[in-house]
Amino acid sequence: MGHGRIRADHDDRAGPGHAGAALGWAPGATFGLGTTAVLAGAGAVIGSLIRRQRLPRQFAEQVAQEGAGWTLLAGGILFAVAGAAGLAIPSVMTAGISTGIHVPNLDQINTGSLLVILVAVVAVVTITRTIRRLRHLPG
């Protein structure tokens, strides 16, 4: 569940702080609900941007399907490669470039940051290219 600072917070602070097993599920559920909320918000923003392009409904659905498909495929491959690299050379996962910002998760650009950025770039490029391709179809 999660990685980096969020997982460390969960494992070190939230998990052991529970009085019993009855609430042991709460941190994971909260993390999952937060992730769901972010994805729903991103989907709403992307959907409204696609509607602004005034594409027919079938084209909008195709943009959504291709965007999601390529993003999940590329993300899966990138995370698998990063995981394999981390197993082969553990220092790859802890290496980073300091940003000078003294806020957790913003204090350095590391493997996790690069993965998120690359997956976001794949999503934006896929959606943009699909919209452009569909706009130039006859009819």
Rounded mean pLDDT, 32-50: 83
Contact in structure between 114 and 105 (CB atoms under 8 Å)? no
Bridge-partner residues for 108, per DSSP?
A: 98
pTM listed for this prediction: 0.67
pLDDT at 73: 92
Reported as a pLDDT band with limits 50, 70 and 90, residue 15 is low
Mapped onto helix, strand or coil, the DSSP state of residue 25 is: coil
pLDDT at 1: 44
Residue-wise pLDDT for 75-133, tens only, equals: 899 989 998 999 999 898 888 899 998 887 778 899 888 888 998 899 899 988 998 88
125 vs 69, 75, 131, CA distance in Å? 13, 13, 10
